[in-house]
Structures are given as C-alpha cells and as structure tokens.
Amino acid sequence: MYLRNTDSQLRWLSLSIFLLIALLSLLPSARLIVEALKGVQFDVQSPFSEIMRSSQTWTAFRNSFYTSGLGTLIAVVLGAGFAFIVTLTNIRARAIWVFLFMLPMMIPPQVTALSWLQLFGPASPILNTFGIAPALGSPNPMYSAEGIALLLGIQNAPLVFLALRTQLLCLPQDLIEAAKVARASQEAIWIDIILPLTRGALIAGAALAFVSSLGNFGIPAMLGIPVNYLVLPTLIYQKMAGFGQGMLSEVAGLSMLISFLVLGGMILQQWLQQRSEYALVGHSSSHMSFRLGKWRTPTEGALGLILLMILVVPCIALVVSSFVPALGMPLNSQTFTVSAYIEMLANQGVTTRAFSNSLLLAGAASVVLMCLCLPLSYILLKLPLKARILATSLIEVPYAIPGIVLAIAFILLFARPLPILGVSIYGSMSIIFLAYLSCFLSVCLKPIYSAMSQMDKALEEAAQLAGANAIQRLVHIILPLTAPAFFAGAILVFLISVNELTVSALLWSAGNETLGVLIFNLDESGDTVLASAISVLVVLLVAALMACLSLLAPRLPKGVIPWHDSV
C-alpha cells in the first residue's frame, strides 16, 4: 500500500526484506513469550510460580539492582565529567581523549573483568613484580558486588559520555556569548545555562547505562559466579546448566522478567530524551571553549591519570600476566616467557578453532547485514513516518534486550528440527549466526540509514525518470554515495560480534567455540595465563579496528562513528 508508486521489483524486495525482519526480530521474541506464558497457571507447583516464589530469584533481582544502580552512578560521574571537560573546554588533543575514553566500551566485558582480576589479589603478577602483592589467602577485592559495579560503571561510562556530548555539541554558542557579554562568570554559565539544558540528556544517558548494566553477563559471570553472587543474567545461565524438569519454562519466565525491566528502562530513556529537546535560537558551528587558563595542564593530567587507572594499568596487568609461567609469579628476566602465546598459536587446537569461528561468524554476519541494510534503509525511507518508526522499533528490540535472553529465545525456537526441512540447527554455528543477524541488525542499519537520509533525492529521481529500476538505482547511484557508511556499518558489526560472549554463552557447543566463550571457559578452568594471552590479542584487534573506523570517519556523515570528533 505504501509502495504502490514504485516498480514491482521494489515491491518484491520490500516483501522479502520485511519477511526477514519478522523472522529475525519478531519470531524469537514471540516464541519466548509463548513459553513463558505456558507456565502461568493457578497451580502453585507450576514452573513460573516456582520462579516467582523462589528466594533465589528475588536475591538475584536485588543484586541486579544494586550492582546496576551503583555502576550507573559511577558511569554518570565518569561519563559526565569527561563529556563536560572534553567538549566545552580548550583542552588539547580532544580527538585522542575521546578515542581513549570510548575504548573500554568496545573491549569485551570478559576481557575487562580478566584484566582487573590480574591487577589485584595475591596472585597478581604485576603486584608480585613490584613486591606489593597482598599475603597469600587474601581475597581479591574484584570478587564482590562493588567490584562488579565498578567495572559496569567503567564499561558503560561511554554511553553517558555519548548521550551528554551529543546535547553539548548542539548548545547554541550565541546563548553562551550573550551570557558572557552580560558579564556572567564561567561558573554561573555552567550552573544556570548548561546544566539545565543538558539535564535531560544526562538522565537519558544514565538510563542507558542502567539498562546496559542489567543485561551485562560477562562481568557478573567472571566476578560473581566464583563467590556465588548471582544477578539475573547469571541466574538464567545457571538455570540453563541445570537441565531440570520445567527448566525451559523457568528460564523463559526469568528472561521475561529481565526483559520487562530492560524495555521499561528503554521507554523511560526515550521519554527523557523527548523531554530534553529544546527549541533554542542560535547555532553551534564550532566547539564552545571555556578557557581553563593555568588549570589546563592540571586538568589534562587528571584526565590522563583517570584513563591510566581505568584503561592502561589493567591492560598492562593483562600483558604482564600473559608473559609469566603461572599466576603469582613476578615478571623478571628469569620468569619472562612467551610460552602462552606459543601454546595458543601452535598447540591449542581449540584456540585456533575459536579464532576461526569468531572471525567467520563476525565476517559472515557483517557481509550479510551490510548487503541487507542497503535495501532495507532504502525501503524504510519510503514508508510513512508512523510505519517507519514501528519498523525501526521492531528492528531494535533484539539488540535492546539482554543477549542471554535472545539466546534463550533462539534455543526455544530451534530446539526442534525445522518444519518441512527436518533439519536441526541447534548446537551448530548456524544458530549462533542467526542470533548475530538478529542482534546486530540495528547496529549495521544506523550508519547506512543515517547516510541515506542525508542524500539529495534529485539524483535518484533523475535516474527514475530516465527509466532506471529500483535495483539499478540502488547499485549505481545510492551504493556509491553511501559506500563509506556501508562499510562502516559492517566494521562496527564485526568489531562488536568478533568478541561477543553473552549470546554465544548459551548457544555454543563442542567444536563451535567463539573467542568470548573460550576466554570465559579458560578462566573458569583455571588456565588464566592462556586466557590473558588471548585477551591481549583481542584488545589489539579491537584497537586496530577502531583505528580503521577513525580513518574512515572524515568521509562519513556526522555521528556515524561515535568517538569521532566531527565538529
């Protein structure tokens, strides 16, 4: 109905694309809801009733709120502090500060947790190297609720940073200049103008950080499971490992519980974002620059010290741990060894297999989604506004809900052989691949959609008048003009999915391990030195991919690369 003015090729393409969206976005969620509701009975012995009456459920619920709430507070302090200083002051090398602050968000949570575990405790190689390790038997402070909250805060601080920085870049400089002409002090401008105008963005960023913390699996799993401190995602993981009677209904009920919390947080975040929109007179064609004067060097030193503590030192601890024969040993000329790297690359078949699986899955998902999102963006832009909002909202649901919940949905959907075909993909790499397509569709779509929405429509209209059909217009006109965003979306998907753990933690099987699963399993089994060596290579891979995106950034529309200083 909406596309009746386009040619038949576009109609068939639209039907195929939206059918695929329904399969990737709606079907898994619908299957999860059916399984959860199947357990809702008046019988007090039903699986759903057991879950809701279990003290373990509500303990995990309280733990989730405590760690997520404290982690959000840490994220707001770090993210807001960096956003205000980096965006509004005359600090030097602004682009480098932004890049470094965004890096923790791109490092896999399990690698972040492992690096901090190697930084503290009596077995810390770096502390033993300097002779300051605590006595044997001392607890590692990271194995605690506060340790989980600290890393959740560091991991999600870039979300607050991005939400607030976007609003700060939109502040009209004319308004600030008028306040300066009126002899308002810098402190008064910050308190009376900037803070009120950015309050909504700050609250929205905090809501994003809270939702992300609720769904995080890697950090609570590595820091909480060893001391039996469970949050909702790790409780679901342990329930899945139990294989008891009614297990699927129980985990479906838990999954719905955490999904409602996360979706509620999303709705709150969208509402707060709408309230933060202001119709202001003026423009911000360049960075506002509050002069720090004699405080500029101390401020840069303070920012550098913070990044040193939250990024550099844990990474150094990870590197040191990868060059010692065993945990608890200092690094010196006698103990230095590259045996972990030799073992990883030459002798460990599972390591090579995990690298191959992750690169294959991430690469295939990137290519498929890249090819899918070009026609999808084209079709979405031709829909009426309400239909477009509905379609994009459905696309974003799988990425918004916790990855472990999405994994449960795919297990429920593909536990039995496929109808008609009679083929089972459960326990194979195919189910992980489909889950990646569902989860990361919105990640790939956003840069392509953003670039296409900024195109001048005259070129396509001229081609249409010249007789070019929809496919020809896509290939010969739209694709060349959106090529940088086209590849940027694929690289973003690859960057996130190559180290993914949350979805694959429940979907992997022997022979189908991914990098995230391998690091998690090695740490659980006590082979931490090898896990550290693999994690070092993962961090290098992430940094290299982010650098590639940064090189592409000048050719991309504003906002496509989140850490690029585009103004």
**What values do phi and psi take at 19, rounded to 5?**
-65, -40
- Residue 548: the pLDDT is 77
Q: Which residue(s) pair with 89 in the sheet?
A: 290
192 shares its domain with 303: yes
CB atoms within 10 A of CB 12: 11
Termini Cα distance of the chain: 41
DSSP state, 134?
A: P
Helix (H, G, I), strand (E, B) or coil at 290: strand
196 shares its domain with 304: yes
Top pLDDT among 60 and 485 is at: 60
- Residue 168: the pLDDT is 76
Read off the amino acid at residue 90. N
Asked whether residue 343 is domain-assigned, the answer is no
118 shares its domain with 25: no
- pLDDT higher than threshold 80 for residue 279: no
Contacts of 279 (CB under 8 A, 6+ apart): none
Top pLDDT among 351 and 436 is at: 436
Question: What is the rounded CA–CA span in Å between residue 554 and residue 549?
Answer: 10
Residue 535's Cβ-side half-sphere holds a number of Cα atoms within 13 Å equal to 35
Question: What is the rounded CA–CA span in Å between residue 322 and residue 115?
Answer: 11
Asked whether residue 559 is domain-assigned, the answer is yes
DSSP state, 194?
A: I
Residue 20's Cβ-side half-sphere holds a number of Cα atoms within 13 Å equal to 17
- Residue 150: the pLDDT is 92
CB atoms within 10 A of CB 5: 7
2 shares its domain with 134: no
Read off the amino acid at residue 239. K
- Top-ranked range on mean pLDDT: pick from 85-99, 237-251, 492-506, 552-566: 85-99
CB 169 within 8 A of CB 84: no
Query: What are 185's two structure tokens?
Result: 């002090």
43: left (phi over 0), alpha (psi -120 to 50) or beta: beta
- pLDDT higher than threshold 60 for residue 287: no
Asked whether residue 521 is domain-assigned, the answer is no
What's the whole-number mean pLDDT along residues 474-494? 74
Angle at 405 between CA 402 and CA 407, to 5 degrees: 110
244 shares its domain with 113: yes
Share of the chain above pLDDT 90, in %: 4
C-alpha 527, offset from chain centre: 27
115 shares its domain with 139: yes
Lowest mean pLDDT among 57-71, 267-281, 472-486: 267-281
Question: What is the rounded CA–CA span in Å between residue 87 and residue 559?
Answer: 15
Question: What is the rounded CA–CA span in Å between residue 471 and residue 465?
Answer: 14
262-275 pLDDT tens trace: 767 666 666 665 65
Last-in-domain residue among 471, 486, 512: 512
Per-residue confidence at 7, pLDDT binned at 50, 70, 90?
A: low
Angle at 349 between CA 343 and CA 355, to 5 degrees: 90
Read off the amino acid at residue 12. W
Asked whether residue 115 is domain-assigned, the answer is yes
Q: Which residue(s) pair with 290 in the sheet?
A: 89
* Mean pLDDT of all residues belonging to the chain: 76
Contacts of 154 (CB under 8 A, 6+ apart): 74, 75, 78, 104, 112, 310
Last-in-domain residue among 471, 487, 512: 512
CB 120 within 8 A of CB 232: no
Question: What is the rounded CA–CA span in Å between residue 246 and residue 43?
Answer: 14
Specify burial of residue 411 (Cβ count, 10 A radius: 0-12, 13-18, 19+): buried
Share of the chain above pLDDT 70, in %: 77
Asked whether residue 518 is domain-assigned, the answer is no
- Residue 6: the pLDDT is 47
Per-residue confidence at 152, pLDDT binned at 50, 70, 90?
A: very high
Question: What is the rounded CA–CA span in Å between residue 557 and residue 115?
Answer: 35
- Find the CATH number of the domain harbouring 375: 1.10.3720.10
- pLDDT higher than threshold 80 for residue 559: no
Question: What is the rounded CA–CA span in Å between residue 284 and residue 277?
Answer: 15
34 shares its domain with 52: no
Give the domain range for residue 396.
1-38+355-512
450 shares its domain with 488: yes
Asked whether residue 344 is domain-assigned, the answer is no
Structural domain count of the chain: 2
As a whole number of Å, the CA-based R_g of the chain is 25
Read off the amino acid at residue 427. G
Question: What is the rounded CA–CA span in Å between residue 299 and residue 97?
Answer: 12
52 shares its domain with 33: no
- Residue 483: the pLDDT is 72
227 shares its domain with 280: yes
Question: What is the rounded CA–CA span in Å between residue 462 and residue 460?
Answer: 5
DSSP state, 562?
A: T
Asked whether residue 454 is domain-assigned, the answer is yes
Per-residue confidence at 71, pLDDT binned at 50, 70, 90?
A: very high
Asked whether residue 241 is domain-assigned, the answer is yes
113 shares its domain with 237: yes
CB atoms within 10 A of CB 318: 26
Contacts of 251 (CB under 8 A, 6+ apart): 236, 239, 240, 408
Question: What is the rounded CA–CA span in Å between residue 559 and residue 563?
Answer: 9
Annotate 206-230 with b (16+ C-beta within 10 A) or e (fewer). Answer: bbbbbbbbbbbbbbbbbbbbeeebb
- pLDDT higher than threshold 50 for residue 547: yes
295 shares its domain with 415: no
